[in-house]
Amino acid sequence: MPIKIGLVGAGEVTQTIVLPNLRLLSDLYEVNALCDISQQTLEHVSTKFNIKQTYTDYTQMIEEGDIEAVMVLTADEYHAPIAVEALQHKKAVFVEKPMALSQQAAALIIKARDENNGVVFVGYQRRYSPAFEEAVQIVRGMSSISYCRVRDIIGPNSIFVGQSGTFPRKYTDFPETSSADMKRRSSEIAEQALGSAETDSQAYNLYRLLGSLGSHDLSAMRELLGIPKGVCGVSNTTPSNAGGFFTAMFDYGGFVAMYETGVDQVGLFDAHIEVYGDGKRVKVEFDTPYVKGLPVKLVVGESDKDGRYIERVVRPTYEDAYTIEYKAFYDAVRNGKQYKTTADDARCDLEIFKMITDAFVRQDK
């Protein structure tokens, strides 16, 4: 029986990735409701995807909509309050990463989940790709690791979205109060996470980059290697979601992991994780999620007994990671199946974000 679901947030990701996938999974999902603060966005998306119930107030959708689950696809500032309210109304929750941006907000989500015996499934689609899961098994079986590189350097999303064949539209008819409300929520996050309500600092810009682009990589790194012991050092660059580059080196005891991230103007999606150990190199290559069907690849390189380099490329499936992830959410809600991207798991990312940001702040003193 399909899950009756309502979506909060009808922006680019919803139009390009989420709704096209849910429509193709019509045996699993019935999209009954849509909420967005832009009336023009609501009208366009609901018409395009034939969604009957529309709302500009997520509370009203949660209380009145013919739904049993909520997908949280809004700006990051609103993830936690929407998730908590949905759980309090006995709705299963799928929340895109980052689940929350402060330990206090994460604790509220976990508390609401536990009090209502709810499901909180966090959207880390890369971790559901079979190529990544196969790499996890190989890496966890290594007797020793020498080095790891985590890279996510990409061009503007507009390049990939423009060639996705989904034709999303953007509107700007936002309520007059929305900008001030977002600024207030951003200040609260800054105060809770970093101890200062200042939202134009380099530290806060870095923290928000880690919560957006960085959370994909750092969450996957955690599953492969665990939480690092600390940060050996960071670059003195000043990145943000708008561009720039940043590098951090993590201490894993017997080895280090180098994290490289940035946004430039080149139309290339260069995202991978590579682990060196046991005489082999194990690499997972990710492509843009905005173009459906691009496979995630596993590349294993090693030398044979004669010193010849042998490279094995594995494409376990052409089914995209979002589709696999949405199937896992269905199984969690309908069949009570265990899943790995829980609220408790997602909360661990905040520890790494803070670890990196603290190292960045220390180097400036």
**pLDDT tens figures, 261-277:** 998 899 999 999 999 99
> Alpha-carbon distance 250 to 229, whole Å?
7
Cα first-last separation, the chain: 58
Q: Where in the chain is the domain with CATH 3.30.360.10?
A: 127-318+348-363
Q: What pLDDT does 365 receive?
A: 62
Whole-prediction pTM: 0.96
Q: How far is CA 232 from CA 53, 140, 171, 213, in A?
A: 51, 23, 43, 21
Residues 104-154 pLDDT 10s: 999 999 999 999 999 999 999 999 999 999 999 999 999 999 999 999 999
**CB < 8 Å & 24+ apart, contacts of 71-74:** 71/5, 71/6, 71/7, 71/8, 71/9, 71/18, 71/95, 71/96, 72/8, 72/9, 72/96, 73/7, 73/8, 73/9, 73/10, 73/11, 73/13, 73/14, 73/18, 74/8, 74/9
Q: Where in the chain is the domain with CATH 3.40.50.720?
A: 3-126+324-341
Q: What is the DSSP letter of 52?
A: -
| 145: its two tokens | 């690791």
Contact 218, 189 (CB under 8 A): no
The total number of residues shown for the chain amounts to: 365
Residue 310 main-chain phi, psi, to 5 deg? -120, 130
Angle at the Cα of 143 from the Cα atoms of 251 and 151, rounded to 5 degrees: 45
Q: Percent of the chain, pLDDT > 90?
A: 95
Residues 178-226 pLDDT 10s: 999 999 999 999 999 999 999 999 999 999 999 999 999 999 999 999 9
Residues 278-291 pLDDT 10s: 999 999 999 999 99
Q: What pLDDT does 312 receive?
A: 97
Superfamily of segment(s) 3-126+324-341: NAD(P)-binding Rossmann-like Domain (3.40.50.720)
| 263: its two tokens | 């946004």
| 257: its two tokens | 């992991």
CATH topology of domain 127-318+348-363: Dihydrodipicolinate Reductase; domain 2 (3.30.360)
* Bridge partner list, 123: 96
> Alpha-carbon distance 224 to 41, whole Å?
39
| 81: its two tokens | 């309050």
